[in-house]
Amino acid sequence: MKQLPSFEHNFLIAMPSLDDSWFEKTVIYIVEDNDHGSMGLVINISHKLTVHDLLTHFDFPSHPDSLFLEGTVLKGGPVDMERGFILHHPSGEWKSSMLLPDDLAMTVSDDFIEALSHNESPEQFQICLGFAGWKPGQLAQELKSNSWLTIPYNQSLLFDTPIENRWEVALNTLGISPEFLTLEAGHA
DSSP character at residue 161 = S
pLDDT given for residue 173 in this prediction: 95
**Domains contained in the chain, CATH given:** 10-180 (3.40.1740.10)
Residue 188 pLDDT exceeds 80: no
pLDDT given for residue 159 in this prediction: 97
Cα–Cα distances in angstroms (integers) from residue 14 to residues 83, 86, 88, 170, 178, in the given order: 23, 22, 23, 10, 11
Q: Between the CA atoms of 137, 138, 141 and 146, what dihedral angle is there, to the nearest 10 degrees?
A: -140
SS3 state of residue 56? helix
For the segment 108-120, the average pLDDT, to the nearest whole number, is 89
> Higher model confidence: residue 186 or residue 142?
142
> Higher model confidence: residue 5 or residue 34?
34
The Cα 144–Cα 149 span in angstroms is 10
Give the tens place of pLDDT for each residue, 122-153: 889 999 999 999 999 999 999 999 999 999 99
Q: Are 41 and 76 in contact (CB under 8 A)?
A: yes
Q: Are 80 and 66 in contact (CB under 8 A)?
A: no
pTM: 0.92
pLDDT given for residue 63 in this prediction: 77
Residue 107 pLDDT exceeds 60: yes
Which range is least confidently modeled, 35-39, 92-96, 108-112? 92-96
Give the tens place of pLDDT for each residue, 26-84: 999 999 999 999 999 999 999 999 999 999 988 988 877 778 888 899 999 999 999 99
